[in-house]
């Protein structure tokens, strides 16, 4: 009867590593913020309208040094909470990302924008 036990163990030993491989690189709520992942999100969702290396206007203002300033253009204090608000709600000519980005992706994005 011992062989009956080895089947689930075999299955688990195959399925588990596969799940770990597919989960890698995907933002999870429980993890710490990861600026490198945030950079990828930025490339997909923000780069089209915002330069990351300058303050020049593309469609929206360049984000270089954004979080080192006192305030955003709309006079909101430049802190994490307000950056999250801008990303989630968008603005006049910026779409909101509340429903198209996960909480963890926005967290990683904030970590990345702080490096600019
Ligand atoms: C379709 C173009 C567009 C996209 C995509 C976009 N934005 Fe914007 N963003 C704007 C515009 C335009 C403004 C200027 C304010 C307004 O019109 O609401 C802005 C303003 C901002 C501001 C305030 C900047 C300041 O100096 O005051 C931040 C921060 C910002 N966007 C971050 C992001 C991030 C992060 C993403 C990606 C998730 C993103 N935006 C995606 C167009 C865009």
- The residues, ordered by sequence, that sit 6+ positions from 18 with a Cβ below 8 Å of its Cβ are none
For residue 26, is pLDDT > 90? no
Q: How confident is the model at residue 27 (pLDDT cuts 50, 70, 90)?
A: confident
**Residue (of 109, 110, 116) closest to 44 by Cα position:** 109
Closest-lying ligand 1 atom to the alpha carbon of residue 76: 27
Q: How far is the CA of 24 from the centre of ligand 1 (A)?
A: 29
pLDDT of residue 42: 98
Residues with CB under 6 A from ligand 1: 45-46, 48-50, 59-61, 63, 66, 72-74, 83, 86-87, 91-95, 97, 109, 113
> pLDDT for 75-89, tens place per residue?
999 999 999 999 999
Class of residue 108 by CB neighbours under 10 A (exposed 0-12, middle 13-18, buried 19+): buried
How confident is the prediction for the chain on average, in pLDDT? Answer: 88
Mean pLDDT to the nearest integer, 39-58: 97
pLDDT of residue 2: 62
């Amino acid at each position: 009867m011992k062989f009956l036990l080895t089947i689930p163990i075999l299955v688990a030993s195959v399925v588990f590593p596969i799940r770990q491989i597919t989960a890698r690189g995907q933002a999870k709520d429980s993890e710490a913020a990861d600026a490198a992942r945030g950079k990828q999100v930025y490339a997909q969702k923000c780069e089209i309208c915002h330069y990351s290396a300058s303050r020049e206007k593309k469609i929206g203002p360049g984000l270089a040094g954004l979080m080192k300033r006192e305030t955003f253009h709309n006079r909101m204090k430049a802190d994490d909470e307000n950056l999250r608000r801008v990303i989630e709600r968008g603005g006049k000519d910026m779409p909101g990302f509340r429903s198209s980005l996960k909480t963890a992706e926005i967290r990683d994005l904030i970590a990345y924008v702080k490096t600019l």
